[in-house]
Amino acid sequence: MVQGVKKQATGVRRWRDLVLSEHGPSQPMTRLVLTVIAHVIDSKDDADCVRLSYQALVRATKLSRVTVANHIRTAVADGWLERRLPRGFGQAWHTYEFEWRVPWSVETALRRSTRNKEVQQLNDVLAVSE
């Protein structure tokens, strides 16, 4: 089971690195909100999603609730995050479940970039051997 936890944590860290890379959201505050969510997910064992209230995100980011909500909406619309209401009873309505996602456009760009690097490396090898 330890391997699964380590694998998941690596996935969340990779996602956080993508968020902060040139492929990440264009708005710095969206990056901040997503980084906080990544930090919370990373701190949980064997988790790919986390329950958080907007108030917890407001406290962690020092942004207003409206600003946090706007950047969550942006991240969901851009494909970086899935937001859903948790199942259960009691005070669950105070929180949302957030699950990280890599947008399709970013995955495609990364595949193209990797393929281009591999082709370039092959061309370099062929050029040296000639």
For the chain, domains (ranges, CATH) are 2-103 (1.10.10.10)
What are the pLDDT digits (tens) for 12-52?
Answer: 888 899 999 988 999 999 999 999 999 988 887 667 778 88
**Which residue did the predictor score with more confidence, 84 or 115?**
84
| pLDDT computed for residue 49 by the predictor | 79
| pLDDT computed for residue 127 by the predictor | 67
Q: Average of pLDDT values for 49-68?
A: 92
Record the pTM: 0.75
Count of beta carbons in the 10 Å neighbourhood of residue 37: 29
pLDDT band at 64 (very low <50, low <70, confident <90, very high): very high
> Residue 59 CA to chain centroid, in angstroms?
20
Is residue 4 scored above 50 in pLDDT?
no
The DSSP element (H or E) to which 60 belongs, if any, is: helix 54-61
| pLDDT computed for residue 14 by the predictor | 87
**Which residue did the predictor score with more confidence, 49 or 75?**
75
104: which residues sit within 8 A by CB, 6+ positions away? 79
What are the pLDDT digits (tens) for 92-119?
Answer: 556 888 888 889 888 888 888 777 776 7
